[in-house]
Amino acid sequence: MLILDGKEVSNHVRTSLIPRIAAFKNKTGRAPHLAVVICGEDPASQVYVRNKKAACEKVGMTSTIHALREDITQPELTEMIETLNADEGVDGILVQFPLPKHLSTHEVLQTVSPLKDADGLTYKSLGYFFAGQPLVSPCTPKGVMTILKHYNINVEGMNAVVVGRSNIVGKPMAMLLTEANATVTLCHSKTKNLAQFTKNADLVVVAAGKAQLLGKDDFKKDAIVVDVGMHGSGQGGKLCGDVRFSELEGWAKAATPVPGGVGPMTITTLLENTCLLAEKRV
């Protein structure tokens, strides 16, 4: 089985960003700049945000973290985002989710400027994206396409199944696979007899949000399996995905591991998107 190594693809893409960042610096006298907003103390979010900042710095981009109080009000958060929208020195904005319960994700997705939306998740960004005219594309599905391309996996004509219908992963994933000429079926938590769909697929992208949901018996021989899941509930508290990866050896043609598959590519695509937005604005 071919292991689709997200770390290797990430290194490749990050290396390709370095001359672009240098060219941007030459032109503008500063590095592309990602502003990350985090509200409250959620420990997982704090780790993600630190990782994003570290990744920016490794490739020579600037990243600032705006850590806001758990009890910040909606008008205060909106004002913070509007300040970043107007700041000429900020190229990308990312508001880390989930937000504390009293705050509105809906409002944030309407406030971040699509010209600075590094996540590609605001309603305007998604509108352009689904119309086939993306400013930037959502990071995780775009990262999956980059992995497939790196390993010369051409999805044209494939039967592809996406499991999960979120705006962050499932729906845009189905869109990108459709644009790449796969025949796509979008399955979700209410799908009857999920295995009937996944077993017929040449390519399955699993973003169900359920630890170790699918295994060998759910895939046909020589399927390509991409696992978007990330859970801390594997054996001995290890990270695991939505797929029982250890069952796939000798059965799947190719698969992404967890960790080291889609996860690193999501952050790398965030860097790529920030660089792209910076280049577009100058």
Instruction: Determine, following the binding rule CB under 6 A, whether residue 119 of this chain makes contact with ligand GUN.
Output: yes
Q: Do residues 91 and 282 touch, judged by C-beta distance below 8 A?
A: no
- CA dist 104 and 30 (Å) reads 33
Measured from the CB atom, the residue of 81 and 168 that comes closer to ligand GUN is 168
Catalytic residue status for 119:
yes
CA–CA gap between residue 16 and residue 24 (Å, rounded): 13
Tell me if 248 contacts ligand GUN by CB under 6 A. no
Catalytic residue selected from 91, 117, 119, 227: 119
Q: Which residue is nearest to ligand GUN (CB)?
A: 97
Q: Should residue 94 be labelled a site residue for ligand GUN when binding is judged by CB under 6 A?
A: yes
Phi/psi class of residue 42: alpha, beta or left (left: φ > 0; alpha: ψ in -120 to 50)?
beta
HSE-up of 153 (CA within 13 Å, CB side)?
25
How near is the Cβ of 25 to ligand GUN at its closest, in Å?
26
| Residue 196 structure tokens | 């009937």
Query: Is the dihedral angle over the CA atoms 96, 102, 106, 111 positive or is it negative?
Result: negative
Alpha carbon 253 to its chain's center: 23
Q: Which residues pair with 66 in a beta bridge?
A: 37
Q: Does 277 bind ligand GUN (CB under 6 A)?
A: no
The answer to whether 209 contacts ligand GUN (rule: CB under 6 A) is: no
Give the number of residues in contact with ligand GUN, rule: CB under 6 A.
7
Which residue, 143 or 202, has its beta carbon nearer to ligand GUN? 143
CA distance 38 to 70: 9
For residue 196, the minimal CB distance to ligand GUN (Å) is 30
* 2, 253 contact by CB (below 8 A): yes
Picking from 280, 261, 266, the residue whose alpha carbon sits closest to that of residue 52 is: 266
Position 96 contacts ligand GUN (CB under 6 A): yes
Binding residue for ligand GUN, selected from 126, 148, 168, 208, defined by CB under 6 A:
168
Indicate the residue among 47 and 195 with the shorter CB distance to ligand GUN. 47
Would you say 32 and 89 are in contact if contact means Cβ atoms under 8 Å apart? no
Measured from the CB of residue 198, what is the shortest distance to ligand GUN in angstroms?
24
Q: Is 52 a known active-site residue?
A: yes
CA distance 115 to 172: 19
Q: Under the criterion CB under 6 A, does residue 80 sit at the interface with ligand GUN? A: no
Residue from the set 35, 38, 139, 184 that interacts with ligand GUN by CB under 6 A: 139
**Measured from the CB of residue 181, what is the shortest distance to ligand GUN in angstroms?**
26
To ligand GUN, the closest distance from the beta carbon of 61 in angstroms equals: 17
Catalytic amino acids?
52, 96, 119
User: Residues in the site for ligand GUN, rule: CB under 6 A?
Assistant: 94-97, 119, 139, 168
